[in-house]
Amino acid sequence: MALLEWNRLADRVNADPEFALAARFWDATLRLDVGTESRRLRFEGGSLREVTACEREAECDLHIAAPVQEWERLLAAVPRPFYQDLFGAQLHHDITLNANPLDFAAYYPALRRLLEIFREARSTRA
């Protein structure tokens, strides 16, 4: 089963009020490497405009990479210790995060909420 229902993701993200506040004015591309597959999320004006499959080295502003099983642990309904948050997870687990530090910090609240939305989407689907 795919990590997420990618074609339904934008609707879910854009309907989230907390994300809307945290992501205001955000223009960026986020690449998610899930095992051997990659997805590119394009944000414009704080909204998720499109989610597309992409090449692993596709250009992006931020990128999060992890093996499939690490993504599953990160997005578990009740994550185990140190998987509950991206900041801590990339310090302690096999999860890589690359971004301009200032852009990352400015929009960390949006990133954090985005992962929570992913988690909720998986829980709902399960």
Contacts with other proteins by CB under 8 A lie at: 22, 78-79, 81-82, 84-89, 91-92, 101-102, 105-106, 108-109, 112
Phi and psi angles of residue 6, each rounded to the nearest 5 degrees, phi first: -60, -35
Smallest distance, Å, CB 37 to other proteins? 26
Smallest distance, Å, CB 25 to other proteins? 12
Dihedral sign (CA 45, 58, 41, 66): negative
User: Looking at beta carbons only, is 17 or 101 nearer to other proteins?
Assistant: 101
User: Looking at beta carbons only, is 18 or 50 nearer to other proteins?
Assistant: 18
Distance CA 1, CA 4 (A): 8
Distance CA 15, CA 1 (A): 24
